[in-house]
């Protein structure tokens, strides 16, 4: 089967739940009119279904190939990327000054979902380029911006993020790559691992962003600088010229995303790879977080995007597969297993959590749009806190849930799901990386609890709770179906977030607080999910399609009844945290 973009659901959420019109009213986003937004969604859906989705299975089977001459992508990849760039998709949300279209990040989030649903391995390439562009635009000199941004935004060149090394893992304080000054540039030496699209044959140049240490740099993360290291050095006219001393020496053999080359990159095996300092020395980690935080939101989108494709495949199979007595089929022309209660439970579990994850990602993207463009300083600061608070939840919760949903997709297929040819297993394999890269769920949990909650005494959480209480108040006066059920679930969510946050902020034992971080993240996901579904309930009467409105109510009701209670389990786990478990001698484990 192919992929069908859920553009009707996307449009409904953008218009009536998240507030696309409010975002479009921000300075610089005036061209994002309702007609333009609708047209972009429709065209993106066509490109995803007609160009990218047909390559997904074959790309997985063929995989990327390494040789001493470089990495070769699967058949059709290069042509699809050329179409992608020529159609302007790569530049959708970038600065018009450098050739971008200047659309809001909120719209870009919706479009990105389509790339990852239809073909996650393909979508990873523009994802990394997007982050590299924003890092360069935010921190590099005007000369470097003029040199690199236009070709990266057009898609003529791609970008990468080179952080970790074999001995470092997630501990970037252990980075050993070096950068020796040599006139107007530096000579980079060292090895980087897990570099997505570190080498490929789709474009004429690749622009690596590399973390390295200059000779007098202090130890730890305070001594890391950021460098632009192009695959090909540029001629005076700006075209790619001599090959730089930077090469992919191998690619990884992975559980999933086989078509996306994950490279081991070696810089400076000979004289040193020529690199150009971004911004100031020793501020590289801060600069790289511009790219990393954006990538974390994008990976959260991947989490539910792959689950959306798994859901579509499972639903199609369940409608077609006939097995056993039909229990719910009295009023249906379809006699498939879709009418078995347990299969319906699994499908609704998938559908409801995908909708919640989609709203969370949209909220996060919209917050950063407001933080970047709103004319009022206080409003910008508030939305910056909101976006930063939501980022680890979107990245951590949506990817953890996404893996579970892709597993349910296999379960709905039964034994056929375990067979590769049905395609269900690929979604599970591909999705499994999403809770790991760009910071594992544990790292996201520590970030949520530490930097985003403890650091400011819970100010960002308090602002979130204020908005949730406003929605609760609106529910109190609503006569819409399921409003009363939403009100109860939302009240419980508000109480759990407030109580758990207070407990963890006041916890004196760091080990106990840290041990509750992952449960805190997951609780926040399920609890803010009740907020998302409550807003969907309030917006359900905005559609002129009665069946569509009824679907929104049914899915929301299912979430309140069957999914929202998961928050309570994580809340109780936080309440039950104790130091005993973490003081055991590791030898007895």
User: Are the beta carbons of 244 and 256 closer than 8 angstroms?
Assistant: no
pLDDT value, residue 330: 55
pLDDT value, residue 267: 98
pLDDT value, residue 297: 97
Q: State residue 148 phi and psi, 5-degree precision.
A: -115, -30
Is 438 marked active-site?
yes
pLDDT value, residue 169: 75
Helices (H), 140-216: 142-154
Distance CA 273, CA 554 (A): 58
Low-confidence ranges of the chain (pLDDT < 70): 327-334
pLDDT value, residue 353: 98
pTM for the model stands at 0.96
What ranges do the domains of the chain cover?
A: 159-283, 441-576
User: Are the beta carbons of 306 and 431 closer than 8 angstroms?
Assistant: yes
Look up the CATH architecture of domain 159-283.
Beta Barrel (2.40)
Helices (H), 458-558: 459-476, 483-506, 510-515, 517-539, 546-558
The token pair that represents 538 in the structure block: 């309030």
Distance CA 62, CA 70 (A): 16
Residues 6+ apart with CB under 8 A from 424: 310, 313, 314, 317, 409, 410, 412, 413, 416, 417
Q: Which residues does residue 191 pair with via DSSP β-bridges, in sequence order? A: 266
pLDDT value, residue 407: 98
The residue from 281, 438, 492, 507 that is catalytic is 438
pLDDT value, residue 331: 54
pLDDT value, residue 170: 75
Distance CA 4, CA 118 (A): 8
User: In the chain, what is the greatest distance between 2 CA atoms, to the nearest angstrom?
Assistant: 79
Cα-based distances in Å from 568 to 470, 492, 578 = 22, 9, 18
Distance CA 293, CA 112 (A): 16
The token pair that represents 286 in the structure block: 């801060």
Cα-based distances in Å from 327 to 41, 338, 344, 411, 413 = 38, 10, 11, 19, 18
């Amino acid at each position: 089967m192919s992929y069908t973009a859920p553009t009707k659901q996307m449009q409904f959420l953008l218009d009536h739940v998240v507030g696309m019109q409010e975002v479009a009213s921000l300075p610089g986003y005036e061209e994002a009119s309702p007609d333009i937004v609708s047209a972009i969604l429709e065209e993106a859906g066509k490109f995803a279904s007609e160009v990218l989705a047909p390559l997904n299975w074959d790309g997985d089977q063929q995989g990327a190939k390494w040789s001493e001459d470089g990495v070769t992508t699967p058949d059709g990849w290069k042509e699809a990327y050329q179409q992608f760039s020529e159609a302007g998709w790569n530049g959708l949300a970038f600065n018009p000054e450098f050739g971008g279209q200047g659309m809001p990040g909120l719209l870009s989030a919706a479009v990105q979902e389509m790339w990852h649903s239809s073909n996650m391995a393909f979508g990873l390439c523009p994802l990394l380029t997007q982050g590299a562009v924003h890092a360069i635009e935010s921190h590099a000199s005007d000369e470097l911006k003029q040199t690199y941004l236009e070709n990266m935004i057009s898609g003529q060149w791609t970008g990468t993020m080179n952080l970790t090394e074999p001995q470092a893992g997630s501990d970037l304080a252990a980075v050993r790559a070096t950068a020796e000054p040599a006139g107007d540039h530096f000579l980079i030496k060292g090895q980087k691992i897990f570099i997505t699209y570190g080498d490929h044959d789709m474009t004429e140049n690749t622009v690596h962003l590399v973390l390295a240490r200059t000779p007098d740099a202090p130890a730890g993360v305070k001594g890391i600088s950021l460098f632009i290291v192009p695959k090909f050095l540029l001629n005076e006219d700006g075209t790619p010229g001599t090959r730089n001393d930077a090469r992919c020496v191998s690619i990884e053999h992975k559980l999933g995303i086989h078509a996306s080359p994950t490279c081991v990159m070696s810089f400076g095996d000979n004289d040193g790879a020529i690199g150009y300092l971004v911004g100031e020395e020793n501020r590289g980690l801060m600069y790289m977080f511009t790219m990393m935080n954006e990538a974390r939101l994008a990976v959260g989108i991947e989490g539910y995007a792959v689950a959306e494709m798994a859901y579509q495949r499972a639903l199609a199979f369940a409608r077609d597969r006939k097995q056993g007595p039909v229990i719910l089929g009295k009023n249906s022309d379809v006699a498939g297993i879709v009418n078995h209660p347990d299969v319906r439970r699994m499908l609704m579990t998938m559908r409801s959590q995908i909708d919640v994850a989609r709203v969370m990602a949209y909220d996060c993207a919209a917050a950063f749009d407001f933080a970047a463009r709103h004319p009022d300083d206080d409003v910008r600061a508030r939305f910056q806190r909101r976006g930063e608070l939501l980022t680890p939840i979107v990245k951590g919760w949506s990817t953890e849930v996404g893996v579970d949903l892709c597993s349910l997709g296999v379960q709905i297929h039964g034994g056929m799901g375990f067979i590769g040819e049905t395609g269900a297993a690929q979604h599970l394999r591909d999705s499994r990386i999403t809770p790991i890269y760009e910071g594992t769920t544990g790292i996201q949990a520590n970030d949520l609890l530490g930097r985003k909650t403890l650091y400011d005494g819970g100010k960002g959480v308090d602002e979130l709770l204020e908005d949730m209480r406003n929605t609760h108040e609106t529910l109190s006066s609503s006569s819409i179906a399921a409003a009363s059920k939403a009100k109860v679930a939302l009240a419980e969510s508000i109480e759990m977030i407030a109580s758990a946050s207070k407990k963890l902020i006041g916890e004196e034992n760091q080990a106990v607080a840290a041990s509750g971080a992952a449960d805190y993240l997951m609780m926040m996901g399920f609890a803010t999910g009740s907020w998302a579904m409550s807003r969907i309930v309030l917006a359900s009467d905005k559609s002129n399609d009665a069946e569509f409105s009824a679907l929104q109510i049914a899915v929301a009701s299912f979430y309140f009844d069957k999914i929202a209670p998961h928050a309570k389990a994580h809340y109780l786990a936080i309440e039950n945290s104790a130091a005993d478990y973490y003081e055991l001698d590791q030898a007895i484990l």
